[in-house]
Amino acid sequence: MTTLTRPPKSSKSMAKRAPASNKKKETSSRATAESMAKQQREISVSEFFAKNRHLLGFDNPRKALLTTIKEAVDNALDACEEAGILPDLFVQILQVNESRFKVTVRDNGPGIIRTQIDNVFGKLLYGSKFHRMKMSRGQQGIGISAAGMYGLMTTGKPVTIISKTSKRKPAHEVLLKIDTSKNRPEIVSDTEHPEDDHLFNDGHGTQVVIELDGKYQKGKQSVDAYLEQTAIANPHANITYVSPTNETFEFPRAVKELPPEPKEIKPHPKGIELGTLIQMLERTKTTQLGAFLQKDFCRVGPGKAKELCSKAGITNRTWIKQVGHEQAESLYKAIQETKITSPPVDCLVPIGSRALLAGLLKEVKAEFFAAATRPPSVYRGNPFQIEVAMAYGGALPTEETARVLRFANRVPLLYQQASCCSFKAAIETGWRNYGMSQSKNSLPSGPIVLLIHMASVWVPFTSESKEAIADYDDIRKEMRLAIQECGRKLGTYMRRRKRMQHQAERRGIFARYIGEISKSCESITGTPAKKIYDALKKMADQKTAEADYQLDEEGNFVADDGLANDDNVVVLDPDQQVTPDQIETDLFGEPVGGKSKRGKKTRKKTRKKVTKKAGKKTLKKKTRKSTRSDGQPTLLGQENRKKKKKRIVKKKKVRRSRRA
Ligand SMILES: Nc1ncnc2c1ncn2[C@@H]1O[C@H](COP(=O)(O)OP(=O)(O)OP(=O)(O)O)[C@@H](O)[C@H]1O
Ligand SMILES: [Mg+2]
């Protein structure tokens, strides 16, 4: 105790005795503004990301392998769609040694012209998508160059790019490295390679080969899962994948049409901040304020421009050069106070409920499928749209919690689930309302796959690695509403399933005793047991089936629970297998994602066919209506009424005869 309170004797005395020269040394080692100035210099982007590779999704070998494939596949799909080409992708992972892999991704896109290859692959923050407001998988201009840089840093091997831009031009091969200190490409070799022309059957495309340190492991966050989910969200793509174990997986195309091309839009005035407005004023090519507002923003016409300017106390003829900070601030205030139409939504191309269903049907073995697409909405001036699809039952595991498949602009998000807005929307949904069990603040448990897709001109990712969507209130609300829409359909299906199970149980009980009863009746009445058995069996079937249909007082079927007529719901037999061709024709009666070639009636017919095939006769019957839209009974309704009358008369007769 005493030692603690006693002053540190030795150190004091040492300080007293310390020679003057030592003191000098200490002070001289301290940094001065001048010495610090010598160390202050620019940091290159690639140097920064080489040190902080975890920000780009290269924090461990397993994730690095996935990120590399993801960046290359996303670029390939983007390029094909932009060029209006149905994507045909080849992905190969070759294991070089225990920890080293050679990744090859080849597409049939438009290719990359020779002069651009260097910058696209050898410079971070260089791309065609950052400066525009158009829906695409890539946004930042870092993806593929970062993957190449990671490969170079871990193996020292350059990236190999082979590109062919037309049938007439030979393939071109470039080997390059990134000079991280300068964020510049370093060309190792650059040659024409006509011998590689055979790689591109369509006469154009790009192949990227990156060697990197990685780890291949199957599971929910594996390359296999990423490609499987990519196939779900991109049913128009054909993907061939050769895994490190030399297995070939085919993800065939389920839709033979490309999704419509998203349109590019300009920023919405409500979505910009004061600083951005000032920057835009400094950089605009227009000379007058009115023209600036109309040309550099969307949803601002001559009238709205005039209104904004007059509210800001300036005219729309004011020269841009004369707009100072004060005017800019009052213009910004005027924008906030004025009602401006929401941004256009034709810039969004959702996957579409039917294409989502097709994707899920192709990859998930379940019995109930539902999808919902929300109307477009806006966050911070950026249009976005949410889609949700759900699969339930079948071969899905019953003991686990629901599996959430998250997508942003058709790209699967495999990491950081807990910090993703879509996950938060899923856990705050009341799943118990739909017959599912759910603990507090968690996903429902049961055989459920929940797919959530956000389409936007700018997806707000939580980091550069593009793994999770930021938690904006507007986005979360839309997600929750879409989940609820699907959930209600699931709830209806669950109730129907319960009812059917109950009837099946009743039928089972009847069936158990019918044999005994018919034998006893035979001994009393002498009627053959077989005859009695058949009659009783028929009656039991009828009774339980009737209860399924539920007739109302007038003998009509109780109104359909809504699922049979819903185009966004598919119910299959638990063991039913569907092929891609069946998905396109049988389930929807027309190519998914394409325009209707046949009428709606035909579609309904084919749907009935499927449900019949699945053995759900109840569904088939329920699609027939007993009343017309004008309230008059249909032929079926009339028939029912006649039948009911007959039944009542018959019952009365039976009662009378019994009394007699
Ligand atoms: N396979 C390809 N075919 C055609 N062009 C490509 C291909 N891969 C990349 N590009 C071009 O190279 C650019 C840079 O790609 P990179 O992946 O680095 O960035 P990005 O896709 O724009 O954004 P992000 O960093 O979000 O992926 C792209 O914008 C695209 O123009
Ligand atoms: Mg990219």
Inter-axis angle of helices 114-122 and 143-155, to 10 degrees?
A: 70
Residue whose CA is at the smallest distance from ligand 1 atom 8: 75
Q: What dotted CATH number matches 343-624?
A: 3.30.230.10
The C-alpha atoms of residue 225 and residue 481 are separated, in whole angstroms, by 27
Residue whose CA is at the smallest distance from ligand 1 atom 20: 141
Enumerate residue ranges in the chain where pLDDT < 70.
1-28, 545-565, 574-639, 660
Pocket test for ligand 1, best of 80, 82, 132, 144 (most atoms within 8 A of CB): 144
What are the structure tokens assigned to 457, written together? 């001109």
pLDDT digits (tens, 9 = 90+) for 182-220: 999 999 999 999 999 999 999 999 999 999 999 999 998
The HSE-up count of residue 343 (CA atoms within 13 Å, CB side) is: 30
Please tell me the distance between residue 137's alpha carbon and the centre of ligand 1 in angstroms. 9
Q: Is the beta carbon of 77 within 6 A of some atom in ligand 1?
A: no
> What residue type is assigned to position 161 of the chain?
I
Residue-level pLDDT at 568: 84
Ligand 1 atom showing the smallest separation from residue 142 Cα: 25
Q: Is the beta carbon of 206 within 6 A of some atom in ligand 1?
A: yes
Q: Is the beta carbon of 142 within 6 A of some atom in ligand 1?
A: yes
Please tell me the distance between residue 51's alpha carbon and the centre of ligand 2 in angstroms. 20
Please tell me the distance between residue 208's alpha carbon and the centre of ligand 2 in angstroms. 13
**DSSP labels for 482-536?**
HHHHHHHHHHHHHHHHHHHHHHHHHHHHHHHHHHHHHHHHHHHH---HHHHHHHH
Pocket test for ligand 1, best of 78, 125, 166 (most atoms within 8 A of CB): 78
Please tell me the distance between residue 331's alpha carbon and the centre of ligand 1 in angstroms. 37
Please tell me the distance between residue 55's alpha carbon and the centre of ligand 1 in angstroms. 18
Q: Is the beta carbon of 347 within 6 A of some atom in ligand 1?
A: no
The closest of 273, 338, 106 to 201, measured between CA atoms, is 106
Sign of the CA dihedral with 460 first, then 463, 464, and 467 last: negative
**H/E element holding 91?**
strand 88-97
Helix/strand/coil (H/E/C) assignment for every residue in 136-194? CCCCCCCHHHHHHHHHHHHHCCCEEEEEECCCCCCCEEEEEEEECCCCEEEEEEEEECH
- Nearest ligand, measured from the Cα of 79: 1
Residue-level pLDDT at 467: 94
Residue-level pLDDT at 613: 38
Please tell me the distance between residue 137's alpha carbon and the centre of ligand 2 in angstroms. 7
- Nearest ligand, measured from the Cα of 461: 1
Phi, psi values for residue 275, rounded to 5°: -60, -40
Pocket test for ligand 1, best of 75, 91, 128, 208 (most atoms within 8 A of CB): 75
CATH class, 49-251 region: alpha beta
Query: 477: which residues sit within 8 A by CB, 6+ positions away?
Result: none
Q: Is the beta carbon of 145 within 6 A of some atom in ligand 1?
A: yes
Q: Is the beta carbon of 143 within 6 A of some atom in ligand 1?
A: yes
Sign of the CA dihedral with 28 first, then 32, 35, and 39 last: positive
Ligand 1 atom showing the smallest separation from residue 128 Cα: 29
Residue pair 386/475 in contact (Cβ under 8 Å)? The answer is: yes
Q: Is the beta carbon of 138 within 6 A of some atom in ligand 1?
A: yes
Give the predicted TM-score (pTM) of the model.
0.77
Residue whose CA is at the smallest distance from ligand 1 atom 19: 141
Q: Is the beta carbon of 122 within 6 A of some atom in ligand 1?
A: no
Ligand 1 atom showing the smallest separation from residue 126 Cα: 14
Q: Is the beta carbon of 128 within 6 A of some atom in ligand 1?
A: yes
Please tell me the distance between residue 316's alpha carbon and the centre of ligand 1 in angstroms. 39
**H/E element holding 413?**
strand 411-413
- Nearest ligand, measured from the Cα of 142: 1
- CATH architecture, domain 269-337: Orthogonal Bundle (1.10)
Residue-level pLDDT at 9: 45
Ligand 1 atom showing the smallest separation from residue 208 Cα: 1
**Straight-line distance from the first to the last Cα atom of the chain, in angstroms, rounded to the nearest whole number:** 111
Ligand 1 atom showing the smallest separation from residue 130 Cα: 22
Helix/strand/coil (H/E/C) assignment for every residue in 548-580? HHCECCCCCECCCCCCCCCCCEEECCCCCCCCH
Pocket test for ligand 1, best of 116, 120, 206, 458 (most atoms within 8 A of CB): 120
> Domain extents for the chain?
49-251, 269-337, 343-624
Q: Is the beta carbon of 144 within 6 A of some atom in ligand 1?
A: yes
Q: Is the beta carbon of 556 within 6 A of some atom in ligand 1?
A: no
Ligand 1 atom showing the smallest separation from residue 107 Cα: 1
Please tell me the distance between residue 129's alpha carbon and the centre of ligand 2 in angstroms. 9
Residue pair 402/445 in contact (Cβ under 8 Å)? The answer is: yes
